[in-house]
């Protein structure tokens, strides 16, 4: 067996890296495949914005032509400068149930880090703002929604055997949208504030309208989360590339913007769960995958909330009441959605956890980001 760094300019290498989880999880009904095209774009070192300032490599473990494991390792230079220490992220860790394969794969990734004098390795951590974080350690019985990592239970044991320790857990849960579990006072406060003109809710009729707010949402992400322990700085260009991918699944009317006067101060990003369509399409848009995705977009009864934020200076001013009231109103405006996934609230984010619990979220899915200090 050998572990090698891929040449991402070669189609065959890219294809092997992308294909492995499709082979591993072919009989797993709970795994949700990614869009193959998104990972292919991420691996394009001549075009993807990440490589304008950072490094990343993609590794495969192979034996006699068979792919046994994969991992990507990423040196995000802006994040390292932001934190004042050399940090690397790993992601896309997939491996057969063989401890020796896992050991060699992880050792190769750590050797890559040592060559760059990196002090700390964290992961699984996405290389882009929108992708899911962490390795699943709880909730394996649940069907993964679109964009959320699903892995076999043995993955965590392999990572811990390599000396990685817990850094942070991200908790997800399911909301029954047919029930109004929100405190009625929240609706009353929200209605009063809007009637007085303090806050305004903006809905969208087209994706072009949503596209115009990308710089505002980028700014809110920075202002709302830059003090969070796991905040990763992204350029506007990277954020825009992520937003353009997200626009392909957004439905006008579901995302909402909160304004105070002319200032955009908050947002709710909601979209239909296309997970079942992705499973049938096997992660491919073409030649016929788009049919499954379009059908899922029209028929899914599950909604995803994957981006909710208010800039700090408006938190506690009633803006949160407006935001969560609007989030809850979606159940009335779109009755076909029976459930919703609230995705990946960090275990240190007590405010969001409390707020999302107050609207009826039932938690039970945990993804863990690990870390290892290198000598």
pLDDT category at 180 given cuts 50, 70, 90 is: low
pLDDT at 230 over 80: no
* Mean pLDDT, range 63-79, rounded to an integer: 94
> For residues 312 and 370, which has the higher predicted lDDT (pLDDT)?
370
Share of the chain above pLDDT 70, in %: 98
Q: What per-residue confidence (pLDDT) applies to 129? A: 60
Ordered structural domains, the chain, with CATH: 2-172 (3.40.630.30), 175-365 (3.40.630.30)
What is the number of residues in the chain? 375
SS (H, E, C) 79-131: HHHHHCCCEEEEEEEEECCCHHHHHHHHHHHHHHHHHCCCCEEEECCCCCCCC
* Mean pLDDT, range 178-206, rounded to an integer: 82
Q: What is the CA radius of gyration of the chain?
A: 21
Q: What is the mean pLDDT of the chain?
A: 89
Q: What per-residue confidence (pLDDT) applies to 6? A: 97
Q: What per-residue confidence (pLDDT) applies to 70? A: 98
Q: What is the pLDDT of residues 315-334, one digit of tens each?
A: 777 887 887 787 777 777 88
- Please tell me the distance from the alpha carbon of residue 159 to that of residue 90, in angstroms, as a whole number: 11
Q: What per-residue confidence (pLDDT) applies to 232? A: 77
Q: What is the pLDDT of residues 338-348, one digit of tens each?
A: 888 988 888 98
pLDDT category at 132 given cuts 50, 70, 90 is: confident
Per DSSP, 78 falls in state H
- Please tell me the distance from the alpha carbon of residue 236 to that of residue 150, in angstroms, as a whole number: 29
* Mean pLDDT, range 300-322, rounded to an integer: 84
């Amino acid at each position: 067996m050998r572990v090698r760094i891929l040449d991402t300019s070669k189609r065959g290498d890219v294809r092997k890296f992308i294909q492995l989880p499709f082979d591993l999880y072919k009989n797993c009904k709970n795994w949700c495949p990614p869009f193959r095209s998104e990972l292919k774009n991420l691996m394009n070192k001549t075009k993807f914005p990440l490589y304008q300032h950072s490094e990343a490599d993609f590794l495969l473990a192979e034996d006699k032509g068979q792919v046994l494991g994969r991992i990507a390792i990423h040196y995000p230079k802006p994040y390292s400068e932001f934190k004042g220490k050399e940090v690397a992220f790993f992601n896309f860790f997939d491996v057969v149930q063989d401890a020796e394969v896992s050991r060699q794969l992880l050792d190769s990734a750590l050797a890559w880090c040592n060559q760059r004098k990196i002090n700390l390795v964290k992961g699984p951590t996405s290389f882009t703002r929108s992708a899911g974080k962490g390795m699943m350690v709880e909730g394996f019985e649940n069907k993964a929604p679109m964009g959320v990592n699903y892995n076999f239970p043995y993955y965590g044991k392999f990572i811990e055997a390599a000396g990685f320790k817990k850094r942070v857990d991200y908790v997800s849960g399911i909301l029954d949208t047919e029930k109004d579990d929100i405190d009625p006072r929240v609706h009353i406060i929200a209605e009063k504030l809007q009637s007085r003109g303090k806050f305004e809710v903006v809905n969208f009729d087209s994706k072009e309208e949503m596209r115009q707010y990308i710089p505002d949402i980028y700014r809110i992400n920075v202002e709302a989360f830059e003090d969070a322990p796991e905040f990763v700085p992204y350029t506007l260009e990277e954020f825009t590339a992520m937003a353009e991918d997200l626009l392909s699944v957004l439905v006008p009317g579901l995302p909402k913007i909160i304004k105070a006067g002319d200032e955009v101060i908050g947002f709710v990003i909601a979209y239909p769960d296309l997970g079942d369509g992705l499973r049938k399409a096997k992660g491919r848009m073409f030649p016929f995958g788009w049919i499954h995705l379009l059908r899922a977009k029209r028929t899914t009864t599950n909604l995803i909330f994957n981006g909710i934020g208010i800039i700090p200076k408006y938190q506690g001013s009633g803006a949160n009441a407006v935001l969560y009231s609007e989030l809850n109103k979606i159940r009335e405006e779109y009755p076909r959605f029976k459930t919703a996934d609230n995705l990946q609230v960090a275990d240190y984010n007590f405010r969001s956890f409390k707020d999302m619990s107050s609207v009826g979220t039932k938690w039970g899915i945990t993804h863990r980001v690990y870390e290892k200090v290198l000598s």
